[in-house]
Amino acid sequence: MSFLRMLSSKFQMPEAGTMLPGRDTPITTPGKHFVNGHDLDGPYPEGFQVLYVAMGCYWGAERAFWELPGVHVTAVGFAGGTTKNPTYHETCTGQTGHTEVVKVVYDPAKITLVQLLKTFWERHDPTQGMRQGNDVGTQYRSALYLTSPDDIKTAKETANTYQQALKKIGNTATITTEIEELKEFYYAEEYHQQYLARNPDGYCGLQGTGATCPLPVAPPNP
């Protein structure tokens, strides 16, 4: 593959015939959260809800959510593509169709979906397409994957709200965030889970646009 073709493929979703097949067996067995000790894969307390966010490199994105009051547990993995049980390195080829995702399990009695979405919009740049800052490729695209039609509707409404917030600060770029029903989530390897807690000096490229999303803020830590 030529250099120009490789560079171009970083910005385009792979065609069905070029997707990597993956494997039937999961690449990792989810354990416990490195920070709070909760089970990554549940079972979760009754009534808790789940949101899946993609904001570029999932290391910094995960930390942004596990620090919020009302969030029960977070985990990183892959969604939005076709390859079954992909590895991190396979996802980085751009031939799985997946993006790097954070699974956020939360107590809706303590923090709402809208409050979580406020953090999502403000903590990254949702207008950059197949990249986030210096991280380039389809695996860094902005996305929201939800589990109910009502949640999808809410997410799209907040996207419109944040688009107006961008315009107010003179940013005319269009939000490119993928907002869809979750089809499948695959856990990433154990060493990626809560990476910045395990490696406090590790890389975090998370940067916002400077626009404030006019949505309710999360409650302070108790």
Token reading at 68:
């919020």
Report pLDDT for 221. 57
Q: Which CATH number fits domain 31-198: 3.30.910.20, 3.30.1060.10, 3.40.630.150, 3.40.50.410?
A: 3.30.1060.10
Contact between residue 65 and residue 119 where contact means Cβ atoms under 8 Å apart: yes
Which residue positions in the chain have pLDDT lower than 70? Answer: 1-9, 218-222
Taking the complete model, does pTM exceed 0.75, yes or no? yes
Please give the positions annotated as active site.
57
- pLDDT (tens digit, 9 = 90+) per residue, 20-72? 999 999 999 999 999 999 999 999 999 999 999 999 999 999 999 999 999 99
Report pLDDT for 11. 78
Contact between residue 20 and residue 83 where contact means Cβ atoms under 8 Å apart: yes
Q: Pairing state of beta strands 178-181 and 143-146?
A: parallel
- Domain coordinates in residue numbering, the chain: 31-198
- pLDDT (tens digit, 9 = 90+) per residue, 171-181? 999 999 999 99
